[in-house]
Amino acid sequence: MEAVIVEKVTKSFDEKLVLDRISFSVERGEFLAIVGPNGSGKTTLLRVIAGVLKPDFGRVEVRGSIGVVPQENLLLPWKKIGSNIELGLKFRRVPEEERRDKVRKMASFLGIEEYLDLYPWKVSGGIARKSAIARALVLDPDILLLDEPLTGLDISSRENLTESLTKLRGKITVILVTHSMEEVFTLADRVVMLTPRPARVASVFRTGEISERDLKDFLMG
C-alpha cells in the first residue's frame, strides 16, 4: 500500500520551471532515495512533499504523519539539544514528563544521550544531524523525509549515522534526497532518478538493478 503518491507535480519559481510533471509513489515501510545532479530540484520536491511548498500543478497525497530532517539541521541555537528534540512534542502540548521520557528514549536509540544538555553550537556536525533526526523521529512519524543526511559529515560520523538510519529500515517509510552514491546503495530500497533542471523522472529502479558506476555516470551527466 502506498504511503506517498506524487502525481504530475510541477513547480516554477519566477517563471523558471524547476519540477516538471514528477510522478512516483512510495510503498509503506519503503526506503526511497531521490537522486539527481546538484541543483536539479530535489530539495524543492521534498518541500512540496512536506507541504511547505504548494505545487503549481499536480498533487501530493501523503497517507500518515510526516517528520522532516532538513539539510541544514535547523536546530535552534538558543535551545539545548534536549529542548530542540522535544520542540515538536511541546508544540503538540505533550505533558513535560512524557516529553522528557520520549526524548531520553530517542536520544538513547540514536546514541546522543550525553549531549542533551549541550547547545547545538557545542556539538559536532554528526551529533547535530542526529539531533535533527531525533527531533523528527520523537514525533513518531509514519513518513520521514531526509535531505542529504550524510552531507558534510566526517567518515566516522557518516558510518555512525548510516548505522542509525539502517535501524529504521522496514519500521517507517523514508524518503531520502541525496546526490551521494553511498547513501543510495547503503540505505535505499528503490531509487527515483531526476534529470538536471527542470527535474523530470528519468528512471525508477530497485538498488540491485543498477551498478554504482552507472548511477555515478548519470549523476555526473
- For residues 81 and 118, is the Cβ–Cβ distance under 8 A? yes
Binding residue (CB under 8 A) for other proteins from 121, 208, 213, 221: 121
Question: Is the Cβ of residue 8 or residue 90 nearer to other proteins in the bound state?
Answer: 90
State which H helix or E strand residue 47 sits in.
helix 42-50
Task: Check binding of 119 to other proteins (CB under 8 A).
Answer: yes
- For residues 80 and 117, is the Cβ–Cβ distance under 8 A? yes
Q: How many CB atoms within 10 Å of residue 52?
A: 11
Ranges assigned E (strand) in the chain: 2-13, 16-27, 31-35, 57-62, 66-69, 143-147, 173-178, 190-194, 201-206
Question: How far is 171 from 175, CA to CA, in rounded Å?
Answer: 13
Stretch that binds other proteins, among 3-11, 68-76, 123-131, 195-203 (CB under 8 A): 68-76
Task: Check binding of 130 to other proteins (CB under 8 A).
Answer: no
Task: Check binding of 92 to other proteins (CB under 8 A).
Answer: yes
Task: Check binding of 91 to other proteins (CB under 8 A).
Answer: yes
Question: Is the Cβ of residue 20 or residue 86 nearer to other proteins in the bound state?
Answer: 86
Question: Is the Cβ of residue 89 or residue 153 nearer to other proteins in the bound state?
Answer: 89
Say how many residues touch other proteins, by CB under 8 A: 23
| Site residues for other proteins per CB under 8 A | 47, 50-52, 66, 68, 70, 72, 74, 76-79, 87-88, 90-92, 119-121, 135, 139
